[in-house]
Structure 1
Amino acid sequence: MIPNKHIHINDKNAEHLDANKKKKIINIAFACDNKYARYTGAVICSILKNLSSDKICHFYILSTSISQENKDRFLKLKRFKQCEVFFIKPDESFVQIFKDIKLQEHVKIETFYKFSLPLILPKLDRILFLDSDIVVLEDISPLYESTLEDFCFAAVEDANQRLKIPFGYPDEYIYFNSGVILFNIKQIKNSTYMDRIKTKVKENFDKYKVSDQDMFNDCFYDKIKKLSYKYNLHHTRYGFFNPMNTNDYFASLNKPVIWHFTGPIKPWHTSKDLVYADRFINNLKFYERFADEIYYKILDNDRIISTHSDSFLPYKNKHSGKDFVLLASGPSAKIHTKIDNAIYVGVNKSLLHSIKLDYLFVQDFRAFKNFEEEIFSYECEKFFGICEAVKEFKIPLEYALKSRAKIYYQDTSLTGIPSKFAFDLSKERIGCFENVVFAALQFILYAGAKRIFLVGCDCSNEPYFYAKDDKSDLNPQRIINNYKKFKNFVQFYYPDVEVLSINPVGLKGIFDEY
């Protein structure tokens, strides 16, 4: 048994566990050194982006050498989405069991740490181990919840079944890939786990050409349950692969959950001819910018954090996977017909449209001119933006109270300081970008939108849909440029969200049309 003194866990762990009892825990482990830490961070981001809202991940990072800087970067991911990150320092004597095994050039000794998981974390029933050269494309929960029966592990058939030949085990057993392994710790505790490993490694270490994977199959070929190809799809780079289950294989090709970049060429080397390499690189850039706080900056202003937590936290991923319509007041809104089952978010006087709004955003006091009672009495959830930089734009707090509206603070783009789109609305000022539609769009993303339809978002000085003599005095080209910035923000932070425009003037060619 590996002593608990080697488990290094971040602070206040007990409090976090108590707070998260309402969500089902998904335990996931990685093994990495400092060089691979950034790639592990990219994989974690791909998991969190796709995770079901009723689940919470506990990530276990296995390493004897990871720096405090990299630990801090991993911990920042807790700001991105609720999760826990634990750091485990395995006993270095554990890898001595494998010291005589020849490693492939692109394989690190840390990969053997995965086999210490049942010894280090015996109180868990199961844990999912993942390599750092994968990208997660769908919710990982069904994989974690796979039925394990009496098997000690679950894994995916490897593309190269010829690798099992040196070990001479019966033909009815297949050879598995070790990049994705679901450990049935509860069952492993009832087996002679370490005895098997020590005996087989001593007998066959010189036969292991694929390092830990050969060892895994040699020791446990009869203890592994086969999973669907979709949970570790790497087979397309092997032209000779002949799947045992062709129906599952082709279904998995159409919708993989995990894509595995096996072999020495990784997406951080080149994206040429590597399927889904762009998705991995997108998550890598996301992780590095997020962890380094280039885009993401937590405010020290307690008043703003307190206000925004109250205003926005209840809506984080509340409508995950839903369609949203951003209904603005441009003339093209006049011809819009309702999209069934979509959530409607309006701005300013778009409440005059015949379609009932679910949410309303107002952030310029001039929008209240001769219109107070309509806004006060309208029945929907309301958000009022407070612009502290320009006095004549600031909505009085008593107006928010009378409207039963939540408030938020804008940034100061109107004073010449560039706006930034907010990623965590509960802690950041909302990016102004000279138009309330961008505040509404930041909220829509935060609330979990799958598709966003832009309606009435005309970049022109034509009269609004509700009046002949009321029109915008904003610079259309500047607003168009801000929509381009918004598109870049979505592509970087929310690559799976689709933005579609419906007839808005000036946006042609920026977003796909519906």
Structure 2
Amino acid sequence: MKVEVENQYTNLFFEEYKDIHYGQSAIIFGSGPSLNEWEDNEYPDVIRAGVNELVFTPILLDYYFSGDSQEVHRPGTFAKNKQAYYDYLPRIQKFIRKQTWGERGALPRDISNAVYYWCDLTSTPVKDISTQPVGCCASISFEALQFLLYAGIKRVYLVGQDCSYNKGTFRSATANDPFHITCGNDMLVDWQMIHDQWLPENYPDVEIFSIRPVALKTFPEVSQNEIR
């Protein structure tokens, strides 16, 4: 007799967000140096999500995602600025990655103003993030993307998604070591996979655009004035 084993890494709480923003647009703010060129403005009905070092900007976010402690020597990391990460609150929800592959590099489990979600080291995004772990790709921005599309977003604008660490991040110029350079290349591969395969198979009606792209040339480039 076949026995079905329940997935212990479900994120059933995500069900309350299913299509909650159906038909809307969203911005995903990354930590690339081009973020410093962003002229902040409220765009009506446009959802705003950001990751990691965005806690150190005045940019208002609806959703915030953070996932790894990173190195102590970098000024913008959790390991160097724990209280800022503990205290930060976006307008709607704060999400913290919970790793299926162990605790090394993970954030503490005691951040009380956050919701923890399971994430699996698969290098492949998933569509139903409530019944299985969110797919971990080369950047936590991909986790934010999976959530936003699950929530019904139809148009995504990428800001600060440089996919290049030649100049570090927007506040950590020292994050330009060989490891991070490799990470930038990995991000380019994953964005290309999403463009060529994952979106057409799972969200064929979704559009993604880049604002001030650096290395990421996969998606059409638009200006801030074209956000709608």
Please, what TM-score do these two structures have when normalized by structure 2? 0.83
Task: Tell me the CA shift for residue 339 of structure 1.
Answer: 5.3
Contact kept, 8 Å, 2:7 with 2:132, in 1: the verdict is: no
Task: Tell me the CA shift for residue 331 of structure 1.
Answer: 0.5
Q: Deviations over 1:124-152 (max 9, x none)?
A: xxxxxxxxxxxxxxxxxxxxxxxxxxxxx
Larger RCO of the pair (alpha carbons < 8 Å, separation 6+): 2
- For residue 375 of structure 1, what is the aligned residue in structure 2? 85
Q: Aligned to 2:8, what secondary structure does the other structure show?
A: helix
- For residue 309 of structure 1, what is the aligned residue in structure 2? 12
Contact kept, 8 Å, 1:365 with 1:392, in 2: the verdict is: no
Q: Among residues 193, 198, 202, which one is paired with 1:485 in the alignment?
A: 193
Output the amino acid matched with 2:48: Y
Q: Among residues 432, 443, 463, which one is paired with 2:147 in the alignment?
A: 443
Contact kept, 8 Å, 2:213 with 2:221, in 1: the verdict is: no
Is 1:361 aligned to residue 65 of structure 2?
yes
Task: Tell me the CA shift for residue 388 of structure 1.
Answer: 3.3
Q: Among residues 372, 385, 388, which one is paired with 2:97 in the alignment?
A: 385
Q: Deviations over 1:238-292 (max 9, x none)?
A: xxxxxxxxxxxxxxxxxxxxxxxxxxxxxxxxxxxxxxxxxxxxxxxxxxxxxxx
The 3 A distance-change label for structure 1 pair 502 and 331 is same
Is 1:352 aligned to residue 56 of structure 2?
yes
- For residue 107 of structure 2, what is the aligned residue in structure 1? 395
Task: Provide the alpha-carbon RMSD of the alignment.
Answer: 1.9
Task: Tell me the CA shift for residue 456 of structure 1.
Answer: 0.4
Q: Among residues 9, 30, 34, which one is paired with 1:332 in the alignment?
A: 34
Q: Deviations over 1:397-453 (max 9, x none)?
A: 113x2xx1111111124xxxxx22111110111111131111011011111112100
Q: Deviations over 1:31-67 (max 9, x none)?
A: xxxxxxxxxxxxxxxxxxxxxxxxxxxxxxxxxxxxx
Larger radius of gyration: 1
The 3 A distance-change label for structure 1 pair 318 and 478 is same
Task: Tell me the CA shift for residue 359 of structure 1.
Answer: 0.7
Q: Higher helix proportion, which one?
A: 1
Output the amino acid matched with 2:97: G
Paired residues, number: 204
Q: Among residues 506, 511, 514, which one is paired with 2:215 in the alignment?
A: 506
Query: Which structure 2 residues correspond to residues 216-227 of structure 1 after superposition, within 5 A?
Result: none
Task: Tell me the CA shift for residue 300 of structure 1.
Answer: 4.2
Q: Deviations over 1:214-246 (max 9, x none)?
A: xxxxxxxxxxxxxxxxxxxxxxxxxxxxxxxxx
Q: Deviations over 1:485-505 (max 9, x none)?
A: 122211221111110001121
Structure 1: where are the runs of 5+ without partners? 1-298, 414-418
Partners in 2 of 1:439 and 1:300 — Cα distance? 25
Partners in 2 of 1:499 and 1:430 — Cα distance? 20
The 3 A distance-change label for structure 1 pair 505 and 300 is farther
The 3 A distance-change label for structure 1 pair 481 and 303 is same
Q: Among residues 468, 481, 492, which one is paired with 2:173 in the alignment?
A: 468
Q: Aligned to 2:110, what secondary structure does the other structure show?
A: helix
Query: Which structure 2 residues correspond to residues 4-83 of structure 1 after superposition, within 5 A?
Result: none
Partners in 1 of 2:154 and 2:120 — Cα distance? 26
